[in-house]
């Protein structure tokens, strides 16, 4: 964990509270967080974070993304069930026609 934080710190990721960053990474996958969200804060050519990007912004982006995903899963699952039910009713009628 410390080595991972040192690597991103050496790439100009600004970590204000190392204890909080370590706790966050203990409960969230380092590679998913860094690979999925760092691209918005990095210079693609150098793999260095732009303007000392704060680690807190990457964590917040992850938290918002997770919240949006969870907010959409239930309604989408409901819509999928509804479409399946309609197809179960409608397809046999269409086939008979």
How far apart (Å, rounded) are the C-alpha atoms in residues 89 and 87? 5
Quick one: pLDDT at residue 82? 93
Q: Which of 24, 30, 27, 26 is nearest to 56 (CA)?
A: 24
Contact 13, 55 (CB under 8 A): yes
Domain-by-domain residue ranges, the chain? 2-72
How far apart (Å, rounded) are the C-alpha atoms in residues 63 and 71? 12
Quick one: pLDDT at residue 97? 66
Q: Measure CA of the first residue to CA of the last residue in the chain; give whole Å.
A: 64
pLDDT per residue, tens digit, the chain (97 aa), is 788 888 888 999 999 999 999 999 989 988 888 888 988 899 888 889 998 899 999 999 999 999 999 999 999 999 999 999 998 888 777 777 6
């Amino acid at each position: 964990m410390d080595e991972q934080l040192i690597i991103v710190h050496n790439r100009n990721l600004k970590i204000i509270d190392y204890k909080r960053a370590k706790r966050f990474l203990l409960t969230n996958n380092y590679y998913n967080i860094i690979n999925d969200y760092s691209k918005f804060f990095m210079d693609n050519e150098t793999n260095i974070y732009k303007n000392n990007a704060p680690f807190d912004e990457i964590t917040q982006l992850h938290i918002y993304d997770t919240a949006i995903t969870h907010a959409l899963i239930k309604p989408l699952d409901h819509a999928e069930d509804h479409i399946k039910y309609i197809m179960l009713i409608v397809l046999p009628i269409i086939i008979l026609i």
